Amino acid sequence: MQKILAGMRVVEGSAFVAAPSGGMTLAQLGADVIRFDPIGGGIDYRRWPVTSSNQSLYWHSLNKGKRSIAVDFKREEGRELLTQLITVPGDDAGLFLTNFPAKGWLADESLRQHRQDLIYLNLTGDRHGGSALDYTVNCQVGFPQLNQFDDSGGERPLNNPLPAWDVIAGQQIALGILAAERHRGLTGEGQFIKLALADVALATVGNLGYIAEATINNQPREPMGNHIYGTFGRDFCCRDGHRVMIVGVSPNQWRSIVRAMGIEGAVTSLAADKGLDFSREGDRFKARTALAALIEPWFAQRDFADANKLLDEHNVCWGKYQSVNELVDIDPECSEDNPLFSTVEQPGIGKYLMPGSPLYFGAVSRETVVAAPALGQHTDEILLDTLGLSSGEIGRLHDAGIVAGITNN
């Protein structure tokens, strides 16, 4: 954690990936992010992966550094409490993010009656307010078509297990909150911010040139396996079965590959035969199959350890294919050797590596990562210190089942 946002308070009502990751991004930069959930947990509280005791590793990983309050907001008094929390006075408060529907008590006009300068960011599936998930958005924008595989029943699109649009949307949420907070600081104006998951994907597709390519060139891009479009990059298998990816995007990267493989003469001859200039990445892409054929024997004649040494000696841009378990067990970059990580005790689960923010700010110190809260861990603290309720009032809310603290669930 780095406390560059210390003093800022954000209230979060969320589920699944994008909205919780946006709140976590702010929390890991020092903001006081208060997540509210229904008593007993919301629809993502037991989401897989889970431990043998049914504790969600997913939920705890996406809520590091936050505070938790558990409220029955199906009841009027619970909704009134959360309205007070969202709209509490203060220059560093009045910041709210959610992917719950912005209607009823969560409608912008309802909340803004209590604080005119409220900053309210609402994430929806699509721009019409409809439902969408990363996987439904991803198939809409065409990327699974570029990952086609043949399963003997014909080519089928292949989904990506990485929820890229959720992750990017989470960063957009954090950016949107910070941009609106700066605007309020300059003008005094709050605002309602709309963000659609589908628009995050559509904007990215446009920004990467796919829309322009389909419009101007009017030719569908074909699936190409592990080749990198428009340049040279592909996977290769070593003699002992280990597989690596090498990439030659820049001229220097390409020259490093050629020198490491000792194929200068063969590459020069191939360029002459095809009338291509391999200092241009587009020409390397045109000849990708022939160039790969020159490189394959080099890997096939070497075990991974030898290839690793020679690739590093020649400053080749490369990476090893490995499982997540291998990443955790043997890769020093995924260890406390990397200051990104701390080994932290997550109550109810155990100790494991947790990442902080990948941003490193020179003006603030980096502190140990803060684990996720237990559900309802800070309920009383928030009611007392943030909303100013008395211990008697808090006790009555517990007795009435409006709020809850930590429960054994």
**Integer Cα distance of 205 and 223 in angstroms:** 16
What pairs with residue 195 in β-bridges? 123
Q: At 384, which helix (H) or strand (E)?
A: none
Of 339, 25, 323, nearest to 168 (Cα)?
25
* Kind of pairing between the strands at 67-71 and 403-404: antiparallel
- List the one residue out of 394, 245, 257, 232 whose CA is nearest residue 316: 257
Q: Is-catalytic flag, 72?
A: no
Strand 149-150 with 155-156, pairing: antiparallel
Strand partners, 71: 403
How far is Cα 243 from Cα 233, in angstroms, rounded to an integer?
Answer: 13
Does the CA dihedral 160-163-165-168 come out positive or negative? negative
What's the CA gap between 94 and 117, in Å, rounded? Answer: 7
**Alpha-carbon gap, residue 59 to 42, rounded angstroms:** 10
Do the beta carbons of residue 39 and residue 70 sit within 8 Å? yes
CB 198 within 8 A of CB 137: yes
* Cβ atoms < 10 Å from Cβ of 115: 20
CB neighbours of 158 closer than 8 A, spacing ≥ 6?
144, 147, 148, 149
* Integer angstrom CA distances of residue 146 from 210, 220, 281: 12, 10, 20
Residue 140 neighbours by CB under 8 Å, 6+ apart: 198, 201
SS3 content of the chain, % helix, strand, coil (to 5): 40, 15, 45
* Choice among 32, 108, 166, 283 that is catalytic: 166
What type of residue is 24?
Answer: M
Which of the residues are catalytic?
166
